[in-house]
Amino acid sequence: MKGRAWIGRAGVVLLALTGSGCCKKSADPVGSGNAPPSMPAPGAPETEVVIDVVHDVARCDVYHRGAFLDLGSQSAESRFGYALAPPADLTNITREGSTWAQAFGRSLSQTFYTDHASPVFVAARVRGVAARQVTVRIDGRSWGALILNRASSEVVSTKVSTEPLEAGTHTLTLQFHGVARNQPFAELDWIRVGEPDEDPSTFAPPTARDLMIDSVIGNRPRRAIGLRAPGTVRCGLAVREGMVLQTSLGYLGPGNGEGVVRIVEPGRAPVVIHASEVGGEREQSAEVNVPLDAYRGKLVSLELVSKKSSPGGRVLFGEPSVSMRRATVPPRTPARAVIVVVLSSADRSHLPPYADVPALAALTNLASSSVVFRHHRGITTVNSGVIASMLTGLPPQTHAVMDAAARLPARFATLATVAHDGRVASGMFTGNPTSFEAFGFNRGWDKFEAFSPVSGVDTRAPLIDGARWIETRLQESKDERVLAMVHSRGGHPPWTATAEEIRSLPPADYSGPVEARRAGQVLARARGRRPRWRLTPADRERLEGFYALALISEDQNLGALIANLRKLGVWDSTLLMVTSDVALGGPSRVPFGDGERLDEDLLDLPLIIHFPGGRYGGRVVDAHTTPLDVIETVLGALGLQAPDGLPGRDLYEVAANPERFVLRPQFSSLGREYATRLGDHVLRGEAPKVPVLCDMTLGPTCSGPTPPSLVVVAGTLWRETYFHYRDTGLGKAAAAREPATLDPDTLSALTVWGNQETRP
């Protein structure tokens, strides 16, 4: 089974976690008089398939008398260590009706998982080409050698180990010996990390060709997974409300068998949710239809198990799938005005309704008529990268704004260009120099205004001028629709404060270096591995005071904007989104950095959305969202069609059906560094190093090996990460990085902002 383009259908694990299969968007634009994106067409089935296990079984783990690795197939692709791309020295070919891998490099590695300790041996079907011998290692320890036949393919094996291999994730490495001259060292069909057993029968490898079978079960032809005993197919599944497991159990071959369906929660014993005797003279079969609500909100493993089968026979799992009822979304109120306010460096702990901050009255009142998203997570810590993802709906690996000196390529459609094509007036107003013209963000807007922090203009200018432009456009025509994006300073320095306000800031008699005008530059010198000075408690207290003053000013202007929209009579037809680019960070951090490591204190962002008509106002949503959802939500409100293949969701749909989007993977990246979150678990790593799984319920930091109880979680998240990078960062859709050309004015603005460190 070969890989697919990222805009196509995802694999089984991806489908299970994201719900891509259950919530595909309609081709009809919202607001065109057609049904909303997830409304079923007349005559459409009431349920939708979330997982089709047969279709994408290569993304699951397969076990038959040990761990089984099918080389040359997609199932092996994410197991070549922890690189984010397949090895360049490996080529897939088809030989003897099977997929094989030609190894041109001196070594080949595959990761695998065992859930219990056992002595093992390593066997492989392989043909030697340039290599005559292979040294086998597991986790760096020698496990024996394989002698290869150059004339034909053979199954070769090491001896059984004298000591058990512990439960957990392991790396198998084959080291080839020989001299290769423009030819591979070897060709491999499959590798097995087997466990000794009493079964004297010949091992039948469960390759993709052998595993998937067209057969008749219960007098109906079905596409099935066929497993010899003992055999298991294990798939990761994030369970949401209303999911139902369906399959048909049957048998192929002589004798009879027993099929079992299990659910395994991390650290707990497997739970059998169905077991049936199948086959025999009466050709017994069984229909399985099991609700999974008991596991909703949990990441589990779904296991299809052949517990017993006669020699030459196989237990069949016909068309195994997980489905749920089709979502329906009530018709929406058309939007005349869509406004996205991005508060630079805004932090949940400083904003209502995430925190009780009476001084921020506008945000407090806004939350009462809006939807509050509690698990909105940033996609990178590069400010310009976040804005690029909001405008394009694409992850950083695709648009290539992965560092503070990159520019958004002109090849990508943005909110501005789609709005222009849809005859929507659009304007962007930014006081943050990371989204100035030099970084490519001016393209496509009818109005683009940048307010430099060195120009002396009012820090409130982006919101004030944006509000003025919105009012003018709405007054010019009662039928015109407007889109405005405001990237304001938020709480970021440089700050503006009167002498009286500064005197009232804590601590009393402060004489440190943190002051309104040059704070960004001063803090830049306190950042990095070799800081020139360190923040004292008094410095942090003064910084907090300036930060709070800045947010109060932003809140007042936000309140004025809302009041004006009410006065114009368009508030009920306005979508107002308030969010941030990168969070302020925790109390131990030097704040306002750009492109810092992917820590949760920088990625936890606020998101408040007032939908037209106040729809779902006051609702607090636990669904997992990202900046990739911004473009879908904005265009959906305007009745415009988003570009094809975007991975985000329309948050109006999420607000209407929040339970469908719980445990959605949230990907964050910074070059080759990644932090993939699913619920309380975060997989952190930097390719090609071994990643670490963090349990956020135990604290924000983590280290050390993944405990055996969580290796399935870690494996699922790694596979999600790998395919996300492969499909979005290494495919044809990805752009080459374009460097930004910084003119003197932009460079001066970035210097004051603290992004270009200055020398004393």
Q: What is the pLDDT of residues 320-355, one digit of tens each?
A: 999 988 878 889 999 999 999 999 999 999 999 999
Tell me how far apart the alpha carbons of residues 207 and 98 are, in angstroms, rounded to a whole number: 8
| The predicted structure's pLDDT at residue 28 | 27
Q: For 431-435, what is the mean pLDDT?
A: 97
> Quick check: helix, strand or coil at residue 202?
coil
| The predicted structure's pLDDT at residue 597 | 94
Exposure of 282 by Cβ count < 10 A (0-12 exposed, 13-18 middle, 19+ buried)? exposed
Q: What is the pLDDT of residues 513-526, one digit of tens each?
A: 999 999 999 999 99
Q: For 58-66, what is the mean pLDDT?
A: 89
Amino acid at 225: I
Report the percent of the chain where pLDDT is more than 90: 72
Question: What are phi and psi for residue 604, nearest 5 degrees?
Answer: -75, 105
Q: For 392-415, what is the mean pLDDT?
A: 94
> Quick check: helix, strand or coil at residue 652?
helix
**Where residue 756 falls among pLDDT bands split at 50, 70, 90?**
low
Residue 689: closest CA among 126, 104, 82: 82
Residue with tokens 């936000």: 558
Give strand pairing partners of 302.
235, 263
Mean pLDDT, the chain, rounded, equals: 89
How many residues belong to the chain? 760
* Per-residue buried b or exposed e for 593-611, using 16+ beta carbons within 10 Å of the residue's own CB: bbbbebbbbbbbbbbbbbb
| The predicted structure's pLDDT at residue 42 | 46
Contacts of 281 (CB under 8 A, 6+ apart): none
Q: For 385-396, what is the mean pLDDT?
A: 97
> Quick check: helix, strand or coil at residue 344?
coil
Residue 481 has pLDDT above 90, yes or no: yes
Q: For 705-725, what is the mean pLDDT?
A: 86
Q: What is the pTM of this model?
A: 0.89
| The predicted structure's pLDDT at residue 173 | 96
Residue 91: closest CA among 81, 104, 108: 104
Higher pLDDT pick, 698 / 258: 258
Residue with tokens 């394989």: 146
Report the percent of the chain where pLDDT is more than 70: 92
Structural domains in the chain plus CATH codes:
1-65+208-330 (2.60.120.680), 70-111+119-194 (2.60.120.260), 337-671+730-753 (3.40.720.10), 672-729 (no CATH)
Residue with tokens 């009818």: 446
DSSP character for 509?
A: T
Residue 464 has pLDDT above 50, yes or no: yes
Both ends of the chain: CA-CA distance in Å?
Answer: 59
Chain-centroid distance, C-alpha 460: 34
Q: For 705-711, what is the mean pLDDT?
A: 79
Write the DSSP assignment of 84-124 as a string of letters: SS--TTEEEEEETTEEEEEE-SSEEEEEEEESS-B--EEEE
**Where residue 74 falls among pLDDT bands split at 50, 70, 90?**
confident
Tell me how far apart the alpha carbons of residues 14 and 334 are, in angstroms, rounded to a whole number: 33
Q: For 93-103, what is the mean pLDDT?
A: 88
Contacts of 99 (CB under 8 A, 6+ apart): 70, 71, 72, 73, 92, 93, 189, 207, 208, 209
Amino acid at 331: P
Q: What is the pLDDT of residues 613-649, one digit of tens each?
A: 999 999 999 999 999 999 999 999 999 999 988 999 9
| The predicted structure's pLDDT at residue 2 | 33
Report residue 535 as tokens. Answer: 């923040």
Residue with tokens 């604290």: 699
Residue with tokens 């020295």: 89
Spatial contact of 497 and 546, defined as CB atoms under 8 Å apart: yes
Exposure of 636 by Cβ count < 10 A (0-12 exposed, 13-18 middle, 19+ buried)? buried
Q: What is the 3-state secondary structure (H, E, C) of 533-552?
A: CCCCHHHHHHHHHHHHHHHH
Q: For 675-700, what is the mean pLDDT?
A: 90
| The predicted structure's pLDDT at residue 21 | 35
Higher pLDDT pick, 33 / 465: 465
Contacts of 607 (CB under 8 A, 6+ apart): 372, 373, 376, 577, 578, 579, 625
Phi-psi region of 21 (alpha: psi -120 to 50; beta: other; left: phi over 0): alpha
**Where residue 45 falls among pLDDT bands split at 50, 70, 90?**
low
| The predicted structure's pLDDT at residue 758 | 33
Q: For 383-404, what is the mean pLDDT?
A: 96
